[in-house]
Structure 1
Amino acid sequence: MGKGEIVAVLQVGGEFSTDADGLMSYSGGEAHAMLVKSDWTFSAFKHEISSTLNNIRVDQFVFKYFLPKNKKTLISISNDKDLHRMVEFHAESETTYIYVMKKKVDNRASIVVADSGTPVDTTAVVPTTQDGSKRQKICATWKNVITGVGQVFDGPKDFRDALHKYAIAHKFHYRFIKNDSSRVTAECTGEDCPWRIHASKSPAKKQFMIKKISESHTCESETVKSHRLASQRWVASVIKEKLRDSPNYRPRDIASDLQREYGLCLNYSQAWRGRSIAQKELHSTHDEVTSQLPWFCGRIMQTNPQSVATVVPMEDSKFRLFVAFHASLHGFEHGCRPLLFLDVISAKPNKQWKLLTATSVDSEGDVFPVAFAVVDDESSEHWHWFLEQLKSSVSASRAITFISNGENGLWDEVPLVFPDSHHGYCVDYLIEEFKTQLDDAWTEEARDVMVEHLKKAIYACTVDEFNQYIELIKGESDKLAEWLLEIKPERWSDAFFKGSRHGQYSCNFPSTIVEWIPTRYELSIVQLVDIIRCKLMEMMYTRRESSNAWAELLTPAANQKLQEEVSKAHTLNVIPSESNENGNVFKVCDDSVNVVNIDAWECTCRKWHISGLPCMHAIAVIERIGHCPYDYCVKYFRTECYRLTYSMSINPIPDVMLPPAILSDQSQSPVTHATPIRTRRRVGRPKEKPADPRIAIKRAVRCSRLTYLVVKSHIVMDAIERLGRTWGHNEDEDDELFCSSVEPASASMLSPSS
């Protein structure tokens, strides 16, 4: 065992007992061994436990241990300091026992969050009477879940949860103005009601906090009988766990329980629809995890060799799905700059699923998706798993620069998985966060000026230039300048950032993929992934074909930027440096003097290093020595690299939507195929059709010639019409023809007339 690490034995599934002396002993359950290092973060510690215990959801467990020679008190591990203390305390111990225990929920409503837009109760205390029964309304304690400005939440999901309970308790409706992982703004839907609330997460402080809230409502409280907050998906999330245990949970019982526990009056159809959604989620997700997704991953790798497609089943029919097509991996490795944008996207209308994406950019600056994963929510555990899958898929031959918003532990997870990488802020996210710091006291014109100062500080190439714009911001607000410095300029300003962005600061792939996913249909995960595959296949073919007409050495966008710098270089004065013996260093004079080292591809203005294209000072020197500027451009802007990016194709998967009978492999189970596209529910309760409406008896018909009563059913009349059309008989002969040609089995349908 090395220095700074301990051997830990994970105990899970057992129980504690206490003897007369207060000593605690543990019995039962399972034991697993793992190594704990002193330099781990708490996030890395939880991830290792999850991997050791077959990918359990560690957020549902707590971790405890005993101090050496103390069996009376359990010590909790809940952060980095607790973890480091445990390693120090047990540095001399041969083994350390860590107890993985389920979180206890005492008198609490244990309910799942349906999606990012419909949060439900996870922490509300349920008041009890002396006999232990629930009070009439759980939501009686929800009136004070939102207290005012400065209240802190664990994240946007917890804030939406509290807002949802607050609205139910105060009987008002609200709508979201902004709703994403960094900020949430909502307002009351009452006519002329000014009530509004805004909460956001500051990059400097790891807290999601209420920044603004109106004092009171001017609208009247609405009756709960028409409470729109009790949406179908919210009802489904509330009853899902009980429906799992009691499949015969009736709509009337659902409505009664919600009235008693939440004070919400639902009619029968609302409860019925909620139960229908819960049943669909319980069964369709399970089928996908057990059969469809493993089969689909196999088909991806069969039709697209060397692709990566992995599905990991988890508890409660949840899963993790990672997909990276070989064409995308090859294009990133051979044609794209080593730059990846990490984003999370809500798969609408499948809001219960999140897409974790890694996207690069091609030589034209257009998005180039490299890999994506489907998970149930955005968390540090999912991001760690996604980054590990990404690392095993891409080549490790070059250091990668990552750009993200840093949320959900990404600042810790990226260097943990990619230790040699650089990680910076997404500029669009930073600017939006900066705008939230500007309160209502700022005029619109002043806001625009401050945002412009921030942009110039972001794109500043030198430290002096950066300090100049920070001073301008500080002159208007010391608080804003301090806020910018607290979030580490080395993560977002060109003057300090060590990675290679080559002029690419943000990525619009989330909006692109949202356009790809149809909002009219509710898609299964197989259909969702296959739609993305189809769009990627089309995108790669279109761009490959368009590049065939390019004749320049650089791509059109890069060539245009270079020509702009060439036009500026004509008026510059170039002087060889006197102190340089090799003749590769020059002084370029304009408003100031910049030194260019032509062999090292460096200029003191630093624009050449930051953009990857020669600046006007470098171009002036290049033309002075008779060289071509194209030879001094980073290779990622060349047309050749662009064509390498799209040189391979993503192949179709022909049998994704075929019925099982058409497949040649009859061993495949029918559930391994994607279900047909599920359209949205129509208004009103769905009508159930009879088993066979054709046999419904309408009326009796008297035969014109044989005086028999014929039972008029759809089957009989269809037979008469077919025979009439076949033999060309007229209407008067139809009945006689039928009576003479009908089979004996149909004779029972004829009876003598009275």
Structure 2
Amino acid sequence: MTRRKILAICQLGGKFMANSDGSTSYLGGEAHVIEIEHDTTLSDLWSEISDIFNCNTSSYSIKYFLPGNRKTLITISNDKDLKRMVEYSGDADIVTTYVYLLKKTENPTLSPHPNRSVVADSVPTDAITASEATAENLKRQKINSSWESMITGVGQVFDSPRVFREAVHKFAIAKGFMYKFIKSDGPRITVRCTTRECPWRIYASNSNSQELTIKKMNETHACGRESTNRLATQSWIASVIKDKLRETPEYRPSDIAKDLEREYGLRLSYHRAWRGKSIAEKELHGCHEEASNQLPWFREKIMETNPGSFAIFEAMEGSKLGRLFVSFRASLYGFEHGCRPLLFLDDLSLKAVKQWKLLTATAVDGENEDFPVAFAVVEVETDENWRWFIGQLRSALPMSRTLTFVSKRQNRLEQVVTELFEECHYGYCIDSLVEEFKAELEDAWTEELKEEAEKDAAVEDFTSAVYACKVDEFNACIEEFKSESEDVAEWVLASKPECWSNAFFKGVRYGRYSSKASETFNAWISTRYEPSVVQAVDMIRCKMMEMIYSRRENSSKWMEPLTPPMTRKVQEETIRARALEVIRSKGSVYVVRDDDQLIHVVDSGRRDCSCCRWQVTGLPCMHAIAVVESIGGTLTDFCSEYFQSKSYRAAYSTSIKPIADTVNTTQVTYPVRARRGPGRPRLKPAEPLLQSKRAVRCSKCRENGHYKRTCKKSISDVSPL
């Protein structure tokens, strides 16, 4: 009865269910098809099973049912058993049979089939337990399946490095392997399996945005599944149970350990589950608890250690947090004496702290880097909170210059800013405006601009309209829009170009059109855990203190009168200016002719050029440089003072003083960032134990306080017993 081959459907991970007629059914698990020929050996079969299921075959046994018998499982223990299965499977050349992989320690208990009616008294208790275990196993498989899809391959995009690390963590738990980071410096992350021979590896990096993209990935695993309990760190446990702990505050560590084992297959100790719950509780409740008693104290410490600063705390009815405004004296002095009169207003949702918002006002220094002037902590971003923040900013800032404010169009701050700062100018953040323009391209103009190249050209034309310094240059961009789409041109004209185009904007932005405050503050605040309000504000203070010190030290080495970036820009324009022809007209007015015979009028006295780029950027254009060099002038004298090294040093000349960890009048201690020792900390300090020492007695003289060896009495002095 020799047959050529059979198709064995090999199944692993499911459960046997009892039918009402005494037969059994197998539900759940994972199934693969394996070809078994008459001359296939048992070792060959085990080798193929090991490759397919990636399991340790020494822990399993192979079982099958004879044709027509669904009640008795037959074990395959040697080559003869395997040949019998092939011979007994049927008379056709190719037949199908079912093979089951069961753990050697597993005694399959038959559970009632879910589609059969079974009398309750006839169902044993262990059968009901097996049915529940099957449901939990299916739930675990569902979770692992979703986690296995966390990493899909090359080209997958993640919002941030933190999101990427979380995805790799869950992916490793689902796949059952340990990993480690070879490189993790922010924009570039490389991950590989901890097994040295395993080729599994991922390389991800970003370009200009915060998004992280998988560039290379080797999906092959040469290692078997192993325990991933070490991946269940305290912070990971906290992130998993945080939502449930918010709904169920009495969630016990023992229940946490059971749930993690049931849902994720992780066996954790009670102490690890307790520490994870402790971290989750601090992240959930520490923010509001500290806000009620430590923010006023922190505000007092700022004013005490940094006199001249502006710090205001207001408790609000119905709010546990209140709101805090901070502007250090070093920031106010540096903005007034070294930064251009330009402020960017931003609202930030910090990735490390999701329970409150940060309102910021940042300036720009001589190197085009952000210079934080003021910030406020509020629970939600509302018009009322914005008005309060700008009002406090108005009180803190010295009004010796006409300021220019820039913010997103969505913030609706134009009216508030112009009311509180009557002589100021207001403009739009260009980055957010370009993103809004792209969204309009996708939503409203897809019929007219179907090709991606057309959309990219429209974005380039819009950017050119932003940087256009003259009205005729702006109008040329509008004509380009009209040739592509009338709707696009109408949207551009309706978006108030006087608030964003250089051709119409009345304020002075000195070539800076957008803020990087979100990147700056998110990089400053640690994402290893969710800090409280006071901790987060103190992180900002510490980072500002370090920033001022490091930039002051770096600038002390500069030898050029202009900052390094501005020196490079002037040098580039100087090279281009050598090909220009300069003709003196009258007084300080000159005529400059380029290679295309285009004529530009330069007034060196008024620092004005007909190309308008000198007025917009604050640096002399190539036409102005040609004039300055023709008259033997010094270029530094014709650059804005905000780009000079002395102004940069003035911006960072005043330091932020540290705040020592102390105890305030209400006996609330400031949170010290110290490393916790191992083990579970005691909730209450233990009372000292009174230990009594046994008195020392000499066996020679029978007196207390010394031993026989140190006894100084002679034998004659010792009285007999």
TM-score (norm 2): 0.56
Match of 1:569 among 577, 594, 598: 577
Look up the match of 1:350.
353
Spell out, residue by residue over 1:288-319, the C-alpha distance to the aligned partner (whole angstroms, 9 max, x if none).
34431111111111111101111101123131
Look up the match of 1:669.
666
Separation in 2, partners of 1:410, 1:178: 32
1:509 maps to 2:517: yes
Contact 2:584 2:590 in 1 (8 A): yes
Assess, with a 3 A threshold, how the Cα gap between structure 1 residues 678 and 319 changes in structure 2: closer, same or farther.
farther
Assess, with a 3 A threshold, how the Cα gap between structure 1 residues 274 and 627 changes in structure 2: closer, same or farther.
closer
Spell out, residue by residue over 1:13-70, the C-alpha distance to the aligned partner (whole angstroms, 9 max, x if none).
xxxxxxxxxxxxxxxxxxxxxxxxxxxxxxxxxxxxxxxxxxxxxxxxxxxxxxxxxx
Look up the match of 2:563.
555
The equivalences for 1:551-630 within 5 A come to 551-577=559-585, 580=586, 583-590=587-594, 591=596, 592-630=598-636
Contact 1:574 1:587 in 2 (8 A): yes
1:521 maps to 2:529: yes
- Equivalent position amino acid for 2:376 in 1: A
**Largest Rg, 1 or 2:** 2
Match of 1:288 among 290, 294, 315: 290
Assess, with a 3 A threshold, how the Cα gap between structure 1 residues 348 and 485 changes in structure 2: closer, same or farther.
same
CA RMSD of aligned residues (A): 4.5
Separation in 1, partners of 2:566, 2:654: 23
Contact 1:694 1:715 in 2 (8 A): no
Q: CA deviation at 1:499?
A: 0.7
Separation in 1, partners of 2:675, 2:625: 59
Q: Give the number of aligned pairs.
A: 456
1:298 maps to 2:306: no
Separation in 1, partners of 2:464, 2:379: 38
Q: CA deviation at 1:677?
A: 7.7
Spell out, residue by residue over 1:459-479, the C-alpha distance to the aligned partner (whole angstroms, 9 max, x if none).
111011111112212222222
Structure 1's unaligned 5+ residue stretches are: 1-173, 181-229, 244-248, 252-268, 661-666, 680-685, 696-713, 728-739, 741-754
Look up the match of 1:641.
647
The equivalences for 1:400-411 within 5 A come to 400-411=403-414
- Equivalent position amino acid for 2:502 in 1: D
Q: CA deviation at 1:557?
A: 0.9
- Equivalent position amino acid for 2:509 in 1: R
Contact 2:625 2:635 in 1 (8 A): yes
Separation in 1, partners of 2:346, 2:567: 29
Identity, % of aligned positions? 48
Q: CA deviation at 1:625?
A: 2.3
SS state at 2:307 partner: coil
Separation in 2, partners of 1:299, 1:691: 29
- Equivalent position amino acid for 1:362 in 2: D
TM-score (norm 1): 0.53
Separation in 1, partners of 2:514, 2:474: 20
Contact 2:577 2:626 in 1 (8 A): yes
Assess, with a 3 A threshold, how the Cα gap between structure 1 residues 400 and 575 changes in structure 2: closer, same or farther.
same
Contact 2:291 2:533 in 1 (8 A): no
SS state at 1:387 partner: helix
Q: CA deviation at 1:279?
A: 7.9
Separation in 1, partners of 2:652, 2:685: 54
SS state at 2:304 partner: helix
- Equivalent position amino acid for 1:411 in 2: E
Look up the match of 2:506.
498
Assess, with a 3 A threshold, how the Cα gap between structure 1 residues 177 and 393 changes in structure 2: closer, same or farther.
farther
Q: CA deviation at 1:452?
A: 1.5
Look up the match of 1:476.
484
SS state at 1:317 partner: coil
Structure 2's unaligned 5+ residue stretches are: 1-148, 151-155, 161-238, 253-269, 698-706, 708-721
Assess, with a 3 A threshold, how the Cα gap between structure 1 residues 574 and 677 changes in structure 2: closer, same or farther.
same
Contact 2:404 2:507 in 1 (8 A): yes
Q: CA deviation at 1:274?
A: 13
SS state at 2:547 partner: helix
Contact 1:312 1:320 in 2 (8 A): yes
Q: CA deviation at 1:539?
A: 0.8
Q: CA deviation at 1:672?
A: 4.8
SS state at 1:357 partner: strand
Contact 1:422 1:498 in 2 (8 A): yes
Look up the match of 1:69.
none
Separation in 2, partners of 1:234, 1:692: 31
The equivalences for 1:137-536 within 5 A come to 284-285=286-287, 287-314=289-316, 315-439=318-442, 442-536=450-544
Separation in 2, partners of 1:398, 1:637: 17
Assess, with a 3 A threshold, how the Cα gap between structure 1 residues 719 and 462 changes in structure 2: closer, same or farther.
farther
Assess, with a 3 A threshold, how the Cα gap between structure 1 residues 495 and 619 changes in structure 2: closer, same or farther.
same
Assess, with a 3 A threshold, how the Cα gap between structure 1 residues 318 and 692 changes in structure 2: closer, same or farther.
closer
Contact 1:569 1:616 in 2 (8 A): yes
SS state at 2:358 partner: strand
Q: CA deviation at 1:669?
A: 2.5
Q: CA deviation at 1:604?
A: 0.9
Look up the match of 1:187.
none
Spell out, residue by residue over 1:72-99, the C-alpha distance to the aligned partner (whole angstroms, 9 max, x if none).
xxxxxxxxxxxxxxxxxxxxxxxxxxxx
Look up the match of 1:542.
550
Assess, with a 3 A threshold, how the Cα gap between structure 1 residues 688 and 295 changes in structure 2: closer, same or farther.
closer
Separation in 2, partners of 1:643, 1:491: 31
- Equivalent position amino acid for 1:338 in 2: P
Separation in 1, partners of 2:609, 2:685: 82
Assess, with a 3 A threshold, how the Cα gap between structure 1 residues 594 and 299 changes in structure 2: closer, same or farther.
same
Separation in 2, partners of 1:290, 1:594: 63
Assess, with a 3 A threshold, how the Cα gap between structure 1 residues 359 and 601 changes in structure 2: closer, same or farther.
same
SS state at 1:648 partner: coil
Assess, with a 3 A threshold, how the Cα gap between structure 1 residues 322 and 692 changes in structure 2: closer, same or farther.
closer
Q: CA deviation at 1:692?
A: 9.6
Separation in 2, partners of 1:612, 1:341: 18
Assess, with a 3 A threshold, how the Cα gap between structure 1 residues 691 and 301 changes in structure 2: closer, same or farther.
closer
Contact 1:521 1:677 in 2 (8 A): no
SS state at 1:481 partner: helix
Separation in 2, partners of 1:386, 1:430: 23
SS state at 1:461 partner: coil
Q: CA deviation at 1:281?
A: 8.2
The equivalences for 1:69-88 within 5 A come to none
Spell out, residue by residue over 1:480-501, the C-alpha distance to the aligned partner (whole angstroms, 9 max, x if none).
2211111111111111111110
* 622-631 or 272-281, which deviates more: 272-281
Assess, with a 3 A threshold, how the Cα gap between structure 1 residues 425 and 235 changes in structure 2: closer, same or farther.
farther
- Equivalent position amino acid for 2:294 in 1: Q
Assess, with a 3 A threshold, how the Cα gap between structure 1 residues 674 and 598 changes in structure 2: closer, same or farther.
same
Q: CA deviation at 1:688?
A: 9.8
